[in-house]
Structure 1
Amino acid sequence: MTYPPPGSGYPGPQGPYPPAPPPAPPGPGYGSPHGGGKTNGLAIAAFVTGLLGCFGVVGIILGAISLGQIGRTGDRGRGFAVAGIILSCLWIAAGITIGVIAANSDSSGGSGAAPSATRTKPKEVDAQKMKVGDCINDNTTASAPSTAEPVEVESVKIVPCTSPHDGEVMAVFRLSGLTMPPESQLRQRASDGCKIRTRSRISRDPAANSLANSYYYPTDESWRSGDRSVTCVAVAANEGTKLTRPLAR
């Protein structure tokens, strides 16, 4: 085995190899998601439509189309598109909610609505079915003070307490006994029972001095059918005068 003579060596970098080529000019490279590219026009339109809220589902449609375009082209504006879809959905949900509330308010009359004709129209009921708090008109002298002659009453009209009325029902109670007492005794028991049950409330009313006590009590026929109810009614003390408001509670 031999070695090359001293000084001969191997060719160095300045030997027979050609020089390196100059660097190539920079190419276009790859796009960055945070730079370059235009903002998608439909995405902006979807956002503006969603802000306005008066175009219904248009914002949703524009946002969906723009998201598809952005996925293909790499344009910016994805946030605008998503925001436009969300805002449009919120506007639609708010509109539906308001519509439902308005429909329920219309069907129930609303707490601040004026009374309808159906609710304020006088309602005729059997005299035995009057309840405490009812304001009545009976078109007879039965609602006059208890000194008047009794008149048989079959029905009365329930009317609003804010309109002119003959009386307001203050109490209802039942008489005891199987046998109907004489007319005078029956009237006395009814009168005494009503005075006891209504005295305190009538005395609290600002117009107590202009009020009187009246009552309805069973007739011979209704007693035989089981009627024992006495209905106590506050009326105006002056005959022919109407009440125009509910009495103090």
Structure 2
Amino acid sequence: MRVVSIHPPAGPQHEGGAQPPHLPHQGTPGPAPYFLYGPYGPRPPVPVNGVAIAALVLGVLCFLPAVGLVLGLIALRQIKRRGERGRGMAVAGVALSSLGLALWTVSLATGVAADVWEGFKDGARADSVLSLRKGDCFTSPGGLEGWTTEAARVPCADEHDGEVFALVTVPGSDFPGDDSLVELGEDRCYALRAAYVMDAWSLPEEVGVYYFVPSRQSWRYGDRSIACVLGREDGTRLTGSLRSDETTLDAHQLTYLEAAEVLNAALDEVPGSDHPDDDVSDDREWAGRVEEAVAEQARLLRAHEWPKEARGPVDELIVDLGKARVAWGRAASATDPDSYWIHEEEAWDATDPSLSVTVREALGLATSPPAYDEGGEQEPEAGEMQV
């Protein structure tokens, strides 16, 4: 499997591969034994055709049935020309290889090959990257850099190099190429991270997203899975699971984060403009969507029955969300660029992440907003702009 890091984006990509099972190599048979006899010596025994033996072996073991079929036909011609033994083995090799080739053709057409691959993965060694599943923590001899084929699963409470947070199925039947797999891994793994780590505030800033992609060799045997992995970018190991989803959160925490994600998703859609210009129509439209998201978040918070210790903080947050809604509404209805940028700045101030700290503390969630580089090199991530 190739190990790739989404973040940081710079730097060379390293290739690695989970190698397919080694297949026996059939060499070219050597010459028939040479016997030296005098005029009255015994007649040499008729040798067995080596190609016939190879054809029979490949036919019985179902290794490379097309090769076994070809070798069987070659053996029949050699036996007839040389007068060697082994016709029965050659015929059996042709028959078995023909049957194996037919079965492979049917399996590829019906998807049975995929089931065979799944069975192979299920039977893979415990320290193979092919055995990794969502939620697994693992160590690897080379960490998360370079060629990686081994990944020993360990309890997440122990030190580990990475934690698998998603598996992505690669579509299509033809190998898409390394560049396409890298692009797919970047897009899908980053997008799926928020479903595994719903509370982005709990994610350490030094943790990045990596992924294992199929190699060209493993693809030939049905490998169609990209493993998305969380790991430290400084090369040190993690301790403890980073997971925060429905399997680890209580009902109140889950409700709060789902409501917060409504606004976070809208904030993430900010138009990609670095400087004010004369046309802010896209920005005004976006501000309108944010206004609607703020209102929806407040509605979801009101609809839930909160524990006693969280009722007061939630009520205060709902009041603050009302102020933020008004501010975003003003930005959405601005009539000129200058007034729009003024109202947008006011709206951002009203959407201050610190307003949610008391609610988070009452619910037992992380209370420190993620840190960013002052140079703006790190993009704000879903769940980190608000609540």
TM-score, normalised on structure 2?
0.29
Greater share of strand residues, 1 or 2? 1
Query: Whose radius of gyration is greater, 1 or 2?
Result: 1
User: Per residue, is there more helix in 1 or in 2?
Assistant: 2
